[in-house]
Structure 1
Amino acid sequence: MITGLTYVITHPDFRAVKVGYTTPKSKRLEQFGRRGWQLYRTLEVATPEIARRIEQAALFEIRYRRFIPAYLTPNEMREFGWTETCSLGLIAAREVWDVVCWQAGVVHLSPQMSGPPDGRRRNGSTPPRRVRGDTPRYSRVARIQARIEQAATRIPKDQS
């Protein structure tokens, strides 16, 4: 199984901090290292999808709750990742790491993290795929109680 990494890196010359995600086998952090970026911290999680969720939640917190804009331009980053950068003058690497850790806890405790054990999808308003034997048969007591409730709420035809 492939694990995921959410990372925080800094660039002393640009005075920038960046949050991102990758996999342990990826060369992404090495590529950033060749461009002068220094690894601050990494958080290893179960899957790359979880790492991406944590990254996106951290970026949302930084951009829309703390109002810290993207710092570098595509020309300065050359290839990718400029939208995930922040100025070290506005937020310290330690604070970005705190946001990542906080959002990791939120993501891990969110109801979307735990899906049905049989692998069915949860995608918004679409109901889960039903399969034979999905729910246990109702007990005899539950069937009797349902009949009683239906009879009690039924309006006789001659009164309507």
Structure 2
Amino acid sequence: MTYLLVHEGFGAVKVGVTASGSSRLKVFRRHGWQAVSIERFASGFQAMSVEREILDWWRNDLNLPAYVSPEDMPVGGSRETAELESMPVSIAVERLKNAAARMRDLSSEARVTEDLVESSVRL
């Protein structure tokens, strides 16, 4: 899963990945973070690829630095944060949803290609 969290007290947004069934989001919730969007994928590779796309957008395209200090995040993940004022939640959620949709489309195309290859091998 790839998720977006918001911490109003820090004025921060965070992107991250976790496995289904993990307690990671509960731990963040105990530290004041609230989930605003969660995207589920068939593989961890897909989730990490979408997280990387969001981070590349924040850091390289928008020049947004990591915002929360490691000292303020005892559960880790400070490098995957941005200032909420500079990265409004609605824009981050839209970008996450679009990146997730593209990843699912790519995965679907790859499965179709694999099926075609397997069919042609049997012929």
Select the residue among 38, 49, 73 that pairs with 1:42. 38
Task: Write the distance in 2 (CA, Å) between the matches of 1:97 and 1:21.
Answer: 15
Tell me the TM-score normalised to structure 1 length: 0.65
Partner of 1:56: 52
Task: Write the distance in 2 (CA, Å) between the matches of 1:89 and 1:102.
Answer: 21
Partner of 2:90: 94
Looking at both structures, which has the greater relative contact order when contacts are Cα pairs under 8 Å and sequence separation is at least 6?
2
Structure 1 residue 136: Cα displacement: 8.1
Tell me the TM-score normalised to structure 2 length: 0.82
Q: Secondary structure at the match of 1:106?
A: helix
Which stretches in structure 2 are left out of the alignment for 5+ residues? none
Larger Rg: 1
Task: Write the distance in 1 (CA, Å) between the matches of 2:101 and 2:63.
Answer: 22
Partner of 1:129: none
Structure 1 residue 24: Cα displacement: 1.9
Whether the 8 Å contact between 1:61 and 1:99 is mirrored in structure 2 is no
Select the residue among 44, 62, 73 that pairs with 2:69. 73
The 5 A counterparts of 1:115-130 are: 117=114
Task: Write the distance in 2 (CA, Å) between the matches of 1:108 and 1:39.
Answer: 21
Please state if 1:25 is matched with 2:4. no
Task: Write the distance in 2 (CA, Å) between the matches of 1:59 and 1:27.
Answer: 23
Which stretches in structure 1 are left out of the alignment for 5+ residues? 119-133, 138-160
Give the partner amino acid of 1:59.
L
RMSD: 2.2
Please state if 1:14 is matched with 2:41. no
Give the partner amino acid of 1:28.
R
How high is the sequence identity, in percent, across the aligned residues? 29
Task: Write the distance in 1 (CA, Å) between the matches of 2:25 and 2:56.
Answer: 22
Q: How many equivalent residue pairs? A: 117
